[in-house]
Chains A and B, each alone.
Chain A
């Protein structure tokens, strides 16, 4: 499935991933227009707990994925000969 996938293809694939619909985003979209401040201030605390927990889990997962991508091991190209370096 991932044969011949190059770096640019990987970036393009990741960019095409649909944004996750987080409860915090939904709350912000729905409640901010009714709020006088920058952030909504009259939100049910239990709903906020769920939204915060989901957001922390999501960003933690994203950070872990980022670390994994940064440390991808090199792939040896056994079938390619590089004539310039032949002895």
Chain B
């Protein structure tokens, strides 16, 4: 048995159990190995889906420096070895002509040269991963304009636009209107009202996270369901609005369409928005395997809260049943977490199933409001045997102390 050892300037091999000092005696013997064995060794070294792409790229770049034969073997099998050119501020790849035509991963955050990113995006046939922070409306416009064509091998797209005023709305032609290989789509503060149409081509999508959807990116629940309907592999869904109210022209309610979406693989669902939106959304969704559900709602009044569709949606799941629950009161909200006990005591399911519910309304000092909210989602609590009630230090219950002697 041999092991591949990386020394600061080169790779070498050693029989297992020997020290680095003896490796020179065996260095020649590794060359008798056939190419396919080398390929397996290299695959073992560089292919690791759990590792960050930059780690994998460092591995193969070290290996190709060892000798010409190794370089030839590696460069001949980029797909098998899952080789990527990882381009970021820390690992800039400015001149692509110096490198084989491997797929490209683009990851830039913080201040960076926008021209570097634009140059890379001009190779849409090779771009597999895009992970970008948009830092200004000007750079955003350039990126959007460059991504107005198909990216046929794109599997991961993450766009962030924190504190960017007047960010352009992504047009319907974004990514050429088709993302056949896309597996992860994460937007943060990115307005893209035409997203549901794009999703119709995203049959491989596993994770869809829409964080802080701005008003210009509003998507109606009906349109969202239409986009989700094809995503049978979707495991994670996040719909998170940064605004409390939909724009006036979008508050109009539409007659119920027949469209429903079955999401047989969905296990994680995070929602932040108005209860009416959630009701319209979950009325048309089936997610039987859901076991991690986080709800945060914008409310004007708690006593008007009605969540009949949410209750039915929960009833249609198989895993959102709990034996332990916690209701925690703080100054601003009441958090309801049915799985508190399991997580606090390190049970093996690692926090699954999990359900969390909180609102923007200050209602935790009114137990009637708490009871009202619990009634709306009581399907979750129908089997609770252990209930933990806790008030945080900032809870106003302290105000209720009165002195009998006064």
A binds B: no
Binding site for A on B (CB under 8 A): none
Binding site for B on A (CB under 8 A): none
